[in-house]
Amino acid sequence: MDDGDFSTKSDAFLTWLQQIGTTISSKIQLADLRSRHAGRGVLATADIAEDEELFTVPRSSILTAEASSLPAEIKEQFDDQWLSLMAAMIYEYQRGSDSTWKAYFDVLPASFNTLMFWSEEELECLESSAVVKKIGKSSANESFKAKILPILQQHTDIFKTTGMSDDQLLALCHRMGSTIMAYAFDLEKPGSGSTAPRNEEDGWEEDEEETELLPKGMVPLADMLNADADRNNAKLFYEDDKVVMKSITVIKAGDEVFNDYGPLPTADVLRRYGYTTHNYAKCDVVEISLDLIKQMAAEGVKLKGPDLGERTSYLDEHGILEDGYDISHASSDPESPQFPDELCILLNTLLLPKADFDKMKQNDKLQKPALILESVRLLYTIIVRRRAEYTFNALDDGFNSLQLNAAPIDISSASHRQKQARLVVAGEKKVLQEAAAALQKMLLGTGDGNKKRKAPTDTFEEEAKAVRAQRSNGEHPSKKTKH
């Protein structure tokens, strides 16, 4: 989009906002932040005090399934918040100038940088980050084909989709679905404050339990706010007939007004919103799959299949078993421990002598989450193996030596998406290194740890490198793993 077109659309959007009764403080402005890869955003043009009203938007102009003029008999065919909003958006978008929201659609994106739109080759740059499995492109396609396309095809006159191929309809679904994922709010009841847009957890159809019942809607202007981890300085409040964006801290003239998309790992910010900044690194996680844990328990502790199965079934009955466990950075918050309690309970249970496991089962008890020494050792070997699933190269070393929040090393020759992927991968390697260091410390405390004089991170990286080299030589890594 050339500059003229971009600013013409912004101006038309602002005029429309005025017409629908939006009030906007003279201390903010809608800005062109394309030079920062941030599209439009809102900037403070004067100092703003805490708790100042920045703008208000009438509830009647929020684009929801209910507010859309899509005929009721079609709305009724959708039993899901996401899909009904998608259908309403497709309908309103296709109406062009006949839609109340035309000027709004004109400032919403037509293309996205979210992972759904990355090529296979680009996704490979994310290496073994678990985020790749969370994109859900094929399940989204299936859902669109089964639940939306037939309705669009049946009512081509209403949706103005005559002559559009299945691929074009699917592309339209993806466009609206991706817009909802990155822009929609969970519309709370009057009297509450919300930090949306942050309404989706693991795919296109699933909602977080607490937001499941809240209607979803597109809130013009409120969704022009960008976010950057905990730099949020504004928040949306819900009143009876309007929503109000207010400052929640002092905002200096020239500063960007930020919303809060939630404490997301860099990988999820990229998956859902298509951007990265260094500030999400503190939320980075690495998923350790149950399959890897089971494999390592079978190899390292020689747990036989039936025994392993009995223990995992027992933990499943007690809600401890998951497909994967996220390890994070060390934190002083007991709510988000570096190694989740469920993972620790799983490991402790897998390592119990058979008689002790039988007794625990008889008493219908669970292990405590504090890692026993054998679990620390097993977890260390698992972390080594997980690290070996990522590459080792000079570029990583550059990233790895960085402090969180530091500026990236110069990789200006790489494409923007490659750089974004590197940031995700480097962040996840850092999580693994910290986890290894924490486990080594626990082992050292028992006199059982690394007795060499090298820095713990070096030995960890070397062990993982060796595992990766064995694997690429076709050898079985367990034969040479040290712990």
Nearest to 153 by CA among 168, 138, 139: 168
Q: To the nearest whole angstrom, how small is the minimum distance from the Cβ of residue 255 to ligand SAM? A: 13
What is the rounded distance in angstroms from the CA atom of residue 113 to the CA atom of residue 178? 10
Q: Does residue number 265 form part of the binding site for ligand SAM (CB under 6 A)? A: no
Segment near ligand SAM (CB under 6 A); pick from 8-16, 31-39, 58-66, 441-449: 31-39
Q: Which two tokens stand for residue 22?
A: 């939006």
State the nearest-atom distance from the C-beta of 362 to ligand SAM, in Å: 53
User: Using the rule CB under 6 A, which residue among 39, 58, 337, 408 binds ligand SAM?
Assistant: 39
The only residue of 86, 218, 224, 421 in contact with ligand SAM, by rule CB under 6 A: 224
Pairing of strands 28-32, 40-44: antiparallel
Strands 216-217 and 23-24: unpaired
The one among 136, 197, 262, 456 contacting ligand SAM by CB under 6 A: 197
Nearer residue to ligand SAM within complex by CB, 273 or 339? 273
Q: Does 463 bind ligand SAM (CB under 6 A)?
A: no
Contact region for ligand SAM (CB under 6 A) — 241-249, 270-278, 287-295, 308-316? 270-278
The gap from C-alpha 410 to its chain's centroid, in whole angstroms, comes to: 26
Options 267-275, 399-407, 408-416, 435-443: segment touching ligand SAM (CB under 6 A): 267-275
Considering only 47-55, 72-80, 271-279, 473-481, which stretch makes contact with ligand SAM by CB under 6 A?
271-279
Phi-psi domain of 205 (left: phi exceeds 0; alpha: psi -120 through 50; beta: other): alpha
Residues 71-110 that bind ligand SAM (CB under 6 A): 109
Task: Tell me the sheet residues that pair with 24.
Answer: 55
Measured from the CB of residue 34, what is the shortest distance to ligand SAM in angstroms?
A: 8
E strand or H helix at 291: helix 290-300
Q: Interaction with ligand SAM in 118-157: which residues (CB under 6 A)?
A: none
Q: Please name which of 69, 58, 66, 76 lies closest in space to residue 95, comparing C-alpha atoms.
A: 69
Out of 136, 262, 265, 274, the only residue in the binding site for ligand SAM (CB under 6 A) is: 274
DSSP state of 193: E
Nearest to 148, CA basis, from 136, 135, 161? 161
Quick note: the x/- pattern for ligand SAM over 157-196, rule CB under 6 A, is: -------------------------xx-------------
For position 217 contacting ligand SAM by CB under 6 A, the verdict is no
Backbone angles phi, psi at 244, to 5 degrees: -130, 125
Number of residues that bind ligand SAM (CB under 6 A): 18
Alpha helices in 76-119 (DSSP H): 81-94, 102-105
The answer to the question of residue 357 lying near ligand SAM (CB under 6 A) is: no
What is the nearest approach in angstroms of ligand SAM to the Cβ of residue 380?
A: 36
Q: Cβ contacts of residue 50 below 8 Å, gap of 6+?
A: 247, 248, 249, 250
Q: Which is nearer to ligand SAM, 228 or 434 (CB)?
A: 228
Stretch that binds ligand SAM, among 225-233, 297-305, 404-412, 455-463 (CB under 6 A): 225-233
Distance, in Å, from the CA atom of 256 to the CA atom of 338, rounded to the nearest integer, reads: 32
Stretch that binds ligand SAM, among 116-124, 219-227, 335-343, 468-476 (CB under 6 A): 219-227
Closest contact distance (angstroms) between CB of 95 and ligand SAM is 21
The total number of residues shown for the chain amounts to 483
Q: How far apart are CA 184 and CA 196, in angstroms?
A: 7
Residue 448 structure tokens: 């059982």
Under the binding rule (CB under 6 A), the answer on residue 226 touching ligand SAM is yes
Residue 137 parent element (H or E):
helix 137-147
Given candidates 228, 260, 396, 428, which one binds ligand SAM under the rule CB under 6 A? 228
With respect to ligand SAM, which residue has the nearer C-beta, 32 or 299? Answer: 32
**Summary count for the chain: helices (H), strands (E):** 18, 13
Among 52, 186, 207, 223, binds ligand SAM (CB under 6 A): 223
| Rounded Cα distance, 233 and 228, in Å | 10
The Cα 64–Cα 70 span in angstroms is 10
109 or 324: CB nearest ligand SAM: 109
| Residue closer to ligand SAM (CB basis): 268 or 461 | 268
Stretch of 75-83, 185-193, 273-281, 438-446 contacting ligand SAM, by CB under 6 A: 273-281
Query: CA-to-CA distance for 352 and 308, rounded, in angstroms?
Result: 11
Taking only Cα atoms into account, the Rg of the chain, rounded to an integer number of angstroms, comes to 25
Q: Which of 14, 20, 31, 38 binds ligand SAM (CB under 6 A)?
A: 38
The strand pairing partners of 326, in sequence order, are: 287
Binding site for ligand SAM (CB under 6 A): 37-41, 109, 182-183, 197, 223-224, 226-228, 273-275, 277
